[in-house]
Amino acid sequence: MRVAIVGAGRMGSAAARRLAKLGFDLVIWNRTRERAESLAREIGVRDAGSLIEALSHSQIALAMLADDEALLSVVSSMRRMDGLILVNGSTVTPKASIAASKHLEGLGIGYVEAPIVGGPGALERGEAIILVSGRRADVAAAGEVLDALGEVFVVGWKYGLAPALKLAFNNLLLASIAGLSESLLILDAYGLDKRLFRDLLGRTVFASFSEKYLERAVEGRKPTFTSRLAGKDARYAAEALADRGYPRIVSSRVADIYDLISSLGGGEDDYVGIYNTLKRLSERVRG
């Protein structure tokens, strides 16, 4: 099956590595060409100089783009291509995704919403969860690619559902990371040992959360997901609520926290490591 990878960032690269290993016929397109060239060279596939060139040889296009703006800009530069299916793995708002589906329908292009739970490592190993919604026929036609990417979790047969579920998941995850970071500040403020906290969490419902994120929050790691994109997801969760007239109490505060991190220069850092930036800020505030 011929697949165009649209966006060669962290997630697009991970998907490309996985699909290439499984024998899919790939072509890579990225807005910044050098990134596509270097990924294509690494995995031994072709890169395309233009989006249209990449799509015209493909049955499926797999988009792994930063945000709503990137998705809508890519979709609006597509031309009529009957039978092509765009699988969107990016985290976007339900509103932008529905707008993309309508535009693509007018071009004869099928559309599958497929936001991903799991980072680039999990995606490359085939261990990510792919949340899927859209028209049944398009989902069936993209089945081979979706199955190859990870565990397919069908959300429903209407546009907007999988993006909403993904934002619900990320809202919980990011609020938990923000809460963990501030809890670490409480330990600092009262001279409590972090090992004590880990021991306590290990005895509670937070055991696996602490196992996965506590050390990473304190040490800081090479980012697999940046604070900038985490802030985008929190803002999108708030927008998704506001769009349906619901209050956005937690998501908007989490978005503010990540915006603060970005304004302090930590936008490209690991989204779990915000404790260290908050710690520096609190030291500055306390003089």
119 binds ligand NAP (CB under 6 A): yes
70 binds ligand NAP (CB under 6 A): yes
Task: Output the smallest distance, CB 104 to ligand NAP, in A.
Answer: 16
Q: Which residue, 110 or 223, has its beta carbon nearer to ligand NAP?
A: 223
135 binds ligand NAP (CB under 6 A): no
What binding mask, one character per residue, do residues 233-252 give for ligand NAP by CB under 6 A, x or -?
Answer: x-------------------
Please choose, out of 70-78, 98-106, 185-193, 202-210, the segment that lies near ligand NAP by the rule CB under 6 A: 70-78
229 binds ligand NAP (CB under 6 A): yes
73 binds ligand NAP (CB under 6 A): yes
Which of 120, 134, 163, 266 touches ligand NAP by CB under 6 A? 120
11 binds ligand NAP (CB under 6 A): yes
126 binds ligand NAP (CB under 6 A): no
Task: Output the smallest distance, CB 119 to ligand NAP, in A.
Answer: 3
Q: Which two tokens stand for residue 232?
A: 């985008």
Q: Which residue, 116 or 250, has its beta carbon nearer to ligand NAP?
A: 116
Total Cβ atoms within 10 A of residue 80: 9
> Are the beta carbons of 113 and 159 closer than 8 angstroms?
yes
140 Cβ contact partners less than 8 Å away, ≥ 6 residues apart: none
Task: Output the smallest distance, CB 73 to ligand NAP, in A.
Answer: 5
The vertex-269 CA angle with 228 and 259, nearest 5°, equals 35
Which of 66, 87, 114, 174 touches ligand NAP by CB under 6 A? 66
Q: Which two tokens stand for residue 287?
A: 């003089």
Task: Output the smallest distance, CB 221 to ligand NAP, in A.
Answer: 12
Place of tokens 């936001």: 115
174 binds ligand NAP (CB under 6 A): no
What binding mask, one character per residue, do residues 16-55 give for ligand NAP by CB under 6 A, x or -?
Answer: --------------xxx--x--------------------
Residues in contact with ligand NAP by CB under 6 A are: 7-12, 30-32, 35, 64-67, 69-70, 73-74, 90-91, 116, 119-120, 224-225, 229, 233
